[in-house]
Structure 1
């Protein structure tokens, strides 16, 4: 079964490259494998310059993205059956856009821990996942991903940033308030 899934992925890649007229792996900057009924992510390690990858609208349940280039800037994984991203994406430190909405992701703390090294992540979607119903979900994500500008299709406002800082960095907030108002903390 695993071999059949690998071969299916290889066929989908070959078909996509033929449609694009791309003959060499080094010329692949973007790759669309959307709506191909994939259940796993095929090995994409040969595409060293891949920047944008569409894997949305498939049947992917588990992520094993170690074969993805760490220079990937956009990753579209929405509308799959992904339950967890733990251990799969933390090496993608150049990621700027990540779309994971409409999956089955649970464990807000685990998810944000996985994404903590993504200092350039500006746009992300996690809505329609169980994590988006956890208390203070939005504030937690804003706090853990300080570079985020758009979360779940809504711009992150400075008021939200301040509020998440107050909630999740209470001691630092108290010290800053005392310095701002020239008061000594006890």
Structure 2
């Protein structure tokens, strides 16, 4: 934690409340540092480190961007579900397994617009893209590719066939039999 204080002092930052973004890129970190004191932290770069176990409980729930790509993270279970304001989440090039567990962790992120999971074992699971689109309805860009309307329809058809049938039977505000 001494390094953080030195860094802030060099940048001329005197109060924790003045910190809205922090970068710990390429610092050889093996875990997420305790950043609970930064109540106004919105953007956090922890990419290109050696983080294996993810524990982000000390992170502010108002964080909007989190960069965790290029680490050795195996699971995000129990680590991110309180970050309900996230809009951008980068997790590519890790070792994340368990698509169901991963999506369950992210289910409360109603504002998540951009996410990356490529170069993880989960991205090779059957139906991966449609499953993510279904579980994260606010997603607009997944793995650096825009989510198309046809993909949304297909994910709904695959994962919520009853809802899909109802939507298909509605025309101009009236139900068609």
Is 1:182 the counterpart of 2:176? The answer is yes
Is structure 2 residue 148 aligned with structure 1 residue 171? no
1:110-149 correspondence runs (5 A)? 110-149=101-140
- CA positional deviation for 1:19: 4.0
5+ residue gaps, structure 2: none
Residue 70 of structure 1, aligned match among 54, 61, 66: 61
Q: Matches of 2:75 and 2:148 in 1, distance apart?
A: 28
1:14 partnered with 2:12: no
Give the C-alpha shift of residue 175 in structure 1.
Answer: 2.8
Relative to the length of structure 2, the TM-score reads 0.94
Alignment TM-score, normalising by the size of structure 1:
0.90
Correspondence for 2:35 among 35, 44, 54: 44
- Mapped to 2, the partners of 1:101 and 1:54 lie a distance apart of 13
Would you say the 8 A contact 1:41–1:64 is kept in 2? yes
Are the counterparts in 2 of residues 13 and 33 from structure 1 also a CA contact under 8 Å?
Answer: no
The structure-2 alpha-carbon separation of the partners of 1:100 and 1:15, relative to structure 1 and needing over 3 Å to count, comes to: farther
SS in structure 2 at match of 1:177: helix
**Cα RMSD after superposing both structures:** 1.2
1:75 partner SS: strand
Structure 1 residue 101 and structure 2 residue 95: aligned?
A: no
What 5-or-longer segments of structure 1 have no aligned partner?
A: 1-9
SS at match of 1:98: strand
Structure 1 consecutive aligned stretches of length 4 or more whose deviation exceeds 3 Å: 178-181
TM-aligned CA distance change 1:76 to 1:16, over 3 Å: farther
What is the deviation of 1:124?
Answer: 0.4
SS at match of 1:66: coil
Higher helix share: 1
Q: What residue is the counterpart of 2:142 in the other structure?
A: 151
Distance 1:109 1:52 in 2: 26
Note the C-alpha offset of 1:176.
Answer: 2.8
Distance 1:25 1:36 in 2: 21
In structure 2, how many angstroms separate the alpha carbons of the residues matched to 1:178 and 1:30? 48
Q: 1:31-71: CA deviations, max 9, x gaps?
A: 00110000011100000000000000000001111000000
Q: Does 1:81 align with 2:44?
A: no
Aligned residues: 174
